[in-house]
A and B are shown apart, each in its own frame.
Chain A
Amino acid sequence: MSDDSPNTVAGTAIRPGAVRWISVIDPDPLSRATLCALLAGMGAEVRAFEAAEPFLAALRSGPPACLISEVRLPAMSGLMLLRHLRSAQMSVPTILVATDPDVPLAVEAIREGALDFLEKPLVASRVTRRIAALLSS
């Protein structure tokens, strides 16, 4: 992640007291940790997962305010996860991320219901801005 801004981007801090947790799914430990640190810096409670399946298991205790998931996951892919959530009528605002994505993948992600689709390496300020917009809507 290019650290073009520290974890306190103006106007993107989550209001204190708001019970909001954000899920991160990424099999890569480094990018997972980086993203978690960024989100924690926004004041969010973050729950991170290495794959879609443990995330789905954790959903039973309630959906997150939003989800940031890598497209390429060990078993169920990010796109399959979106389809699964939709068919289960679970509404989780989701941002998909991928390394070197192509246009057809981006088109499919939005078609499948992703609210946004970002290219890795992630730009910190872009992520926080999108999350803040997502959580305030």
Chain B
Amino acid sequence: MKSLPTVFVVDDDAPVRDGLKLLLRSVGHRVETCASAQEFLDLYTDDRPGCLVLDVRMPGMSGLDLQERLNERRAILPIIFITGHGDVPMAVEALQAGALDFLQKPFRDQELLDRIARALEKDASNRRELVELKQIAARFAELTPRERAVMDLVVQGKANKVIAGDLDISQRTVEIHRARVMEKTQAGSLAHLVRMVLRLQEAG
């Protein structure tokens, strides 16, 4: 089920596409090319790891438009823009929208290869992070509403006695719920529990 990372190249200029494909294959990357943003949108599914080398200016949907569409569907594929024009506002916009890099032609092959290596590393670590988050979320989903209520107060640093008062239950019941929370979430300590709760909150 785990697929190998692929470098996707989207550029309307056929010689550029072919040149990049040769270069990237020569260093052992898996490469897929598309002549338009639409073609990429049609073929790409978010579960495919890798990175995207994207031309800014293309007829029809531009590179920035494609980035926006990918952001809308919450794709996490890192994007390296390439451009023939020294367009500063465009570079700023692309980076603000989350692009990993913005490379101006002419560039040396090695410059692009270095950036691709960095993009693939970033993608791999983002995907590991996502898997971990999903596992944590699945464990937290096992909690009953009452356990959740106890946990919310526990992570606020409240003592069992205070929690018992807040929820109008016995201290013994709080202790039992608390132990179940730690067990179900596989939290090794209160600090660990708090960190997991924060990570889930950050991920929305």
Interface residues of A (CB under 8 A from B): 101-107, 109-111, 115-117, 119
Task: Flag the segment in B37-45, B94-102, B136-144, B194-202 that touches A.
Answer: B94-102
Task: Kindly specify which of B70-78, B81-89, B165-173 makes contact with the partner chain.
Answer: B81-89
Residues of A close to B102: CB separation below 8 A: 103, 106-107
Q: When each residue 52-87 of chain B gets 1 if its CB lies under 8 Å from chain A and 0 otherwise, what string results? A: 000000000000000000000000000000010011
Task: Determine the chain A residues whose CB is within 8 A of the CB of B91 once the complex forms.
Answer: 103, 106-107, 110
In the assembled complex, B104 has its CB within 8 A of some CB on chain A: yes
Q: For residue A116, which residues in chain B have a CB less than 8 angstroms away from its CB?
A: 92, 96
- Our count of residue pairs bridging A and B at CB distance below 8 angstroms stands at 35
A119 with B87: CB separation less than 8 A: no
Q: Are B92 and A106 in contact (CB under 8 A)?
A: yes
Q: Which 5 A-B pairs have the closest CB atoms?
A: A110-B95, A103-B104, A106-B91, A106-B88, A117-B92
For A104, the chain B residues whose CB sits under 8 A away are 104
Cα–Cα distance between A107 and B91 once the two chains are bound (Å): 7
Q: Which residue of A lies closest to B89 (CB)?
A: A119
* Cα–Cα, bound, A74→B14 (Å): 46
State whether A102 touches B88 (Cβ < 8 A): yes
Taken together as a complex, chains A and B put the C-alpha atoms of A117 and B91 apart, in Å, by 10
- Assuming the contacts A117-B88, A119-B88, A119-B89, asked whether A103 and B95 have C-beta atoms less than 8 A apart, the reply is no
Q: A107-B101, A107-B102 are in contact. Are A102 and B95 (CB under 8 A)?
A: no
CB contacts (< 8 Å) of A102 on chain B: these are 86, 88, 104
Having A102-B104, A106-B102, one finds 8 other A-B pairs with CB under 8 Å, namely A102-B88, A103-B83, A103-B87, A105-B88, A107-B101, A109-B92, A116-B96, A119-B88
Q: List 7 A-B contacts (CB under 8 A).
A: A101-B88, A103-B86, A103-B87, A103-B102, A104-B104, A110-B91, A110-B92
**Of all chain B residues, which has the CB nearest A107?**
B102
Residue in B closest to A109 when the chains form the complex, CB atoms: B92
B96 and A103 contact, CB distance less than 8 A: no
Q: Are B83 and A107 in contact (CB under 8 A)?
A: no
